[in-house]
């Protein structure tokens, strides 16, 4: 006597299959939705000097701030914005314009973004730009969960 299994296909089964398929193809969502979201969040961070992520960056030293106004007057921000002198660090983090020092790696499990600008690590110690606030991470994760569970982008 052999036992046969019968596969029951119903709404629950189809829903679960859809979730599994979307979870297995999450790299597309990360590249298509999360990466542009990351870029916009970073642009907002730089424009607000990190205020959009909960706290502003520490002020520049007065002597450096004065020198920056003169030295970088013809550059983006006119020497008035923190963390932007030549825009090299900004571009390496955001991936705008010159992206030679910006690397994006998307896999079926993660989205990783690297700045290969030599001084990025040092700048990040003083003025955090690599981590997002808990609220921002919740928003990103909520979008991922909605995509997997309901196919909503």
pLDDT band at 1; cut points 50, 70, 90: low
**Partner residues linked to 102 by β-bridges:** 115
Q: Which of 1-15, 16-30, 52-66 has the lowest mean pLDDT?
A: 1-15
pLDDT of residue 10: 73
User: In this predicted model, what pLDDT tens digit does every residue of 113-124 receive, in sequence order?
Assistant: 999 999 999 999
Which helix (H) or strand (E) element contains residue 105?
A: strand 102-106
User: From CA 42, how far away is CA 45, in angstroms rounded?
Assistant: 5
The more confidently predicted of residues 92 and 75 is 92
Mean pLDDT in residue range 10-37 = 85
User: From CA 3, how far away is CA 119, in angstroms rounded?
Assistant: 66
H helices of the chain, in order, are: 11-24, 26-29, 35-48, 62-71, 88-94, 120-126, 134-150
pTM of the model: 0.84
pLDDT of residue 153: 67
pLDDT band at 139; cut points 50, 70, 90: very high
pLDDT band at 23; cut points 50, 70, 90: confident
């Amino acid at each position: 006597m052999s036992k046969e299994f019968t596969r029951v296909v119903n709404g629950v089964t189809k829903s679960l299959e859809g979730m599994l398929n979307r979870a297995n193809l999450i790299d597309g969502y990360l590249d298509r939705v999360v990466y542009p979201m990351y870029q916009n969040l970073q642009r907002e961070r730089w424009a607000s000097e990190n205020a959009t992520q909960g706290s502003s960056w520490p002020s520049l030293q007065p002597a450096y701030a004065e020198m920056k106004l003169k030295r970088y007057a013809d550059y983006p921000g006119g020497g008035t914005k923190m963390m932007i002198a030549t825009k090299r660090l900004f571009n390496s983090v955001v991936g705008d314009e010159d992206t030679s020092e910006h690397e994006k790696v998307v896999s079926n499990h993660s989205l990783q973004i690297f700045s290969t600008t030599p001084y990025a690590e040092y700048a990040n110690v003083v003025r955090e730009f690599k981590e997002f606030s808990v609220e921002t991470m919740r928003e990103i994760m909520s979008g991922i969960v909605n995509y997997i569970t309901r196919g909503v982008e």
